[in-house]
Structure 1
Amino acid sequence: MHRCRLARVAGRGWAAGDRTGILLGRDDSTLREALSLLVRRQGGGDMRHGGLVLDAGMKLGALRLGLRLLRSPPLILMYHGVTRSARPDGLRNLDGKHMPQDIFASHLRLLAKYRRVVPLQTLVDGLGTGEDMRDWVAITFDDGYENNASVAAPLLADFNMSAAFFLTTGFIGTDRCMWTDRLEWVLDLTQRTELKLPGGGGQLSIVSLEDKSRALARLKTLIKGNRTWRPEEIVDVVADQLGVSASPAGSDYRFMDWDQARSLAQGGFEVGAHTVTHPILAHLSPEAARAEIFDSRDAVWREVGQCSPTFCYPNGKSSDFNAEIQALCHQEFRSALSTERGHAALQDLWGLKRLCPAGPGKGENLEWLLLRAR
C-alpha cells in the first residue's frame, strides 16, 4: 500500500519491484518529495502503518538515499555504554542502555559515510557563528562506564571519530554502581514472586521477565519522582525484601578508573563533569547542587588535567534542572546537555537537546533518527 503511494509520488522514479533497493529517480527534487513523505509518515505517529513504511523504506534503500539527499540540523547523539555482549542477560541490559558493539560499529560506519562527526565543543561553538552546520553530529557518553574506555573508545579511534565522555566522578575508580543498575540486578536475581512497592504503593507480581521489567520501570519512576527519598536507601530496602544481598560486580555495571579517564583525554577525547553521585539536581538544596556540580568539575580537572566546558545534567529532563541550576553552571561552564529530544540549537545552550540511538529495538534504526531530526 505505502509502496504504491510512494510510487505515485515519485512517478516513474521508484522501481517498486527492484529487490536491490535502488531508486531510479529522474531528479533529486522528485526523490526528496518521496523521501520526505516516507519520513513524515513514519514520524507522524501512525502506529498501524509505521512498521510497514519502515519495512518498505529499508527494502527500497530509501533511508540511506535519504541520508544523502535530506540534510539534518546539528545533532548531539547520546550513548551510555557499548557492550561486548550480543544480547541482554535476563533483565540485565534489557532496556538496551549498553549497545552491542557490532551495532555501535554500524552507527559509526553510517555516520562516517553520511554525516560529519565533529568534537562536541566544535559543534557547541558553531551554534553562535552562523556557520553552515547541516549534517554535523557530535557523539556523547554519559556516566563513565568502564566499557566506554575499553570498547567504545577503540571503535571510535578506528573510525578517527571524536566523542565526549561525561563522568559521575564519585563512581570512577570504585566498586560502586548506579542505584538504577543495582535495582536491575536485584530484580533479575531474586527468586521471590511479589514485590511490595515502597511508600505503600501496592504490590506487584515479579514472576516473569516481563513482570520484572514493568516493576523496574515502576520503581525507577517512583524513586525519581520522590524528592525526599534517598535512592540508594530505597534500593537497600528492596534488596532486603527480595533476598538479594550481593551487589553487581564487573560486567557492564562497572565504572572506569582514573587511568582510563586520562587515557581518553590523551587519546584526544573530551572528558567532562556529570556530578559526583548522579542526583536529580532540582531535588537538591542550592548548596548541595553547587557541590555536586563543582566538585565533579574539580575532580575531572585534578585527575585528568582538563574538563569539558560543557556540563552534563544527570537524568537531564527539563524538570530535573531549573533556572538556579542553570545559573550555577553558567559560572563555570559555557553550555550544558539535557536528555530532552531534539537537535542542537543556540536558544537551548543551557539545556542542549540530544538524540538517543540506544534502547530496545532502536539501535538498528539510526537512519530514521537522523532523517526525522528537523
Structure 2
Amino acid sequence: MLGKGLMRMLSPGGKSGLSIFIYHRVLPHKDPLFPAEVDRADFDRDLHRIKSMFNVMSLLDAVHHIAAGSLPPRAACITFDDGYADNAEVALPVLQRHKLPATFFVATGFLNGGRMWNDTVIELVRRHPEGVIDASAIGLGSHEIGSTARRQQAIQALIGQLKYLPMEHRLDQVSRLVDIGGIGLPDNLMMSSAQVNELNTGGMDIGGHTVNHPILAKLPPAKARAEIAEGKQALENIIGEPVRLFAYPNGKPGADYLAEHVAMTRDLGFDGAVSTAWGAGKHTNDVFQLPRFSPWDRTPLRFALRMARNLTTQADLAI
C-alpha cells in the first residue's frame, strides 16, 4: 500500500511518465560471485511489487501512447537486455504466472552457443583453479583468485580494462586471456533461436540489440548501421514478424551512442528505442531515447522509494 500511495501522489493524471525496468538475468538460485544478481525468488517479489504500484503494459504500447500523448497514470514496462537463456528458462514462467508482458532485447551474434565477452571473463575467473591468473603478458595484469572476494575483484578489474577497447581489440584480448586460462567454458549461457521463438509465442516482445553488442559510438557509422540492421533482420527471420523496438548496447547517451545512431534506428524502421539513462519517460520524450533504470532494492520500502525517486528524475539524454 505504501508503494501505491507514493505513486499516486507523484503521478496525478499520469503526468509523471513511464517507468521502464531493466533486467539482464534471472538466475534459478543465488550466485556466490554475484549475490546481488536477481534470482527467481527476487524476480517474483519484484513483479508482485511492480503490479501493486504500476499499470504494466507492453513497451510497444507505451511507445505508441507517448507518441499520442495518451500515456495512462503510473505506466510501467519490463525489459531484458542481451538474450540470456535464463530469460526463457526462468523469467518467462514467472512473467506468465503474473500475466505481465516484457520486451527482450537480443544480441543475435551470441545465440545458439555463443557467449558475450564479459561472460567469458566471468566464467574464466569462476572456473580457474585457486592461485593466480597472470595476464601481464597481454597488458591485463596479474590477479590473485584465492577467495570469492579476490575472484570478484579480478572480474571487476579485467572487465574494467576491456570494456571500452575497440571491439576487435577487445575480442582479441579476451581470446588471448582464454588461452592463458586454458580451461573449458560454458556454451549454454545465451538463448537458442528456439527460445527466442518461445518468448515471442509466449506473449513477449522481441527487440533488437545489435549483433555483437558493440559500443556504437566507437564504430564507424557504416559498421554501426550494419550492426543494428543485421541484428534486426536476424530476429525477424527467427520470429517471422517485424521487430519494432531497439536497445542501445550499454545505452549511455553521448558515450555509448550518439545522435547519428538515434537517426539510424528511425531510418531502419523501429518504432522506438531505449537507453540506460535513469528517469521516467514523459509525453514529450523522444521515443527513440526512452530512459530506463534497474530495480536493485530488495526491501519493500527501499524499492518503493527508488520507484518514487525515478519518477521525479530528469533523465540526462544529452548526445
TM-score, normalised on structure 1? 0.74
SS at 1:268 equivalent: coil
Q: Paired residue for 1:305?
A: 240
Matched, 1:209 2:148: yes
Q: Paired residue for 2:265?
A: 329
1:248 is matched with which residue: 182, 186, 189? 186
Matched, 1:76 2:20: yes
Shift of 1:216: 1.6
2:120 is matched with which residue: 167, 182, 206? 182
Matched, 1:342 2:294: no
* In 2, Cα distance between equivalents of 1:255 and 1:272: 15
* In 2, Cα distance between equivalents of 1:219 and 1:151: 29
2:3 and 2:52 in contact (8 A); partners too: no
AA aligned opposite 2:290: L
Shift of 1:298: 0.6
Matches within 5 A, 1:1-374: 62-63=2-3, 65-67=5-7, 69-71=9-11, 73-85=17-29, 87-89=30-32, 91=33, 93-94=34-35, 96=37, 99-172=38-111, 174-190=112-128, 191-196=130-135, 200=139, 202-227=141-166, 230-241=169-180, 243-250=181-188, 254-318=189-253, 319-332=255-268, 333-345=270-282, 346-358=284-296, 362-364=297-299, 365-373=302-310, 374=312
Unaligned runs of 5+ in 1: 1-60
Unaligned runs of 5+ in 2: 313-319
The C-alpha deviation readout for 1:221-242, integer Å capped at 9, x for no partner, is 221222265323212222333x
RMSD: 2.3
2:136 and 2:142 in contact (8 A); partners too: yes
Shift of 1:204: 4.1
Q: Percent of counterpart pairs with the same letter? A: 30
RCO (CA 8 Å, sep 6+): is it higher in 1 or 2?
A: 2
More deviation in 105-114 or 191-200? Answer: 191-200
Change (3 A) 1:202 1:181: closer
2:62 and 2:71 in contact (8 A); partners too: no
Shift of 1:182: 1.2
* In 1, Cα distance between equivalents of 2:71 and 2:223: 40
1:82 and 1:152 in contact (8 A); partners too: yes
SS at 1:140 equivalent: strand
2:54 and 2:75 in contact (8 A); partners too: yes
1:272 and 1:310 in contact (8 A); partners too: yes
* In 1, Cα distance between equivalents of 2:25 and 2:88: 9
Change (3 A) 1:104 1:372: same
Larger Rg: 1
Shift of 1:180: 0.6
* In 2, Cα distance between equivalents of 1:233 and 1:95: 30
Change (3 A) 1:105 1:188: same
* In 1, Cα distance between equivalents of 2:289 and 2:138: 32
2:131 and 2:144 in contact (8 A); partners too: no
Aligned length: 301
1:144 and 1:165 in contact (8 A); partners too: yes
1:335 and 1:349 in contact (8 A); partners too: yes
Change (3 A) 1:195 1:351: farther
Shift of 1:185: 0.9
* In 2, Cα distance between equivalents of 1:101 and 1:164: 18
SS at 2:249 equivalent: coil
Change (3 A) 1:145 1:73: same
Shift of 1:203: 4.0
1:272 and 1:307 in contact (8 A); partners too: no
* In 2, Cα distance between equivalents of 1:132 and 1:272: 21
Change (3 A) 1:112 1:347: closer
Change (3 A) 1:198 1:77: farther
* In 2, Cα distance between equivalents of 1:151 and 1:289: 32
TM-score, normalised on structure 2? 0.86
* In 2, Cα distance between equivalents of 1:259 and 1:285: 32
1:196 and 1:203 in contact (8 A); partners too: yes
Change (3 A) 1:302 1:132: closer
1:273 and 1:307 in contact (8 A); partners too: no
AA aligned opposite 1:66: L
AA aligned opposite 2:266: H
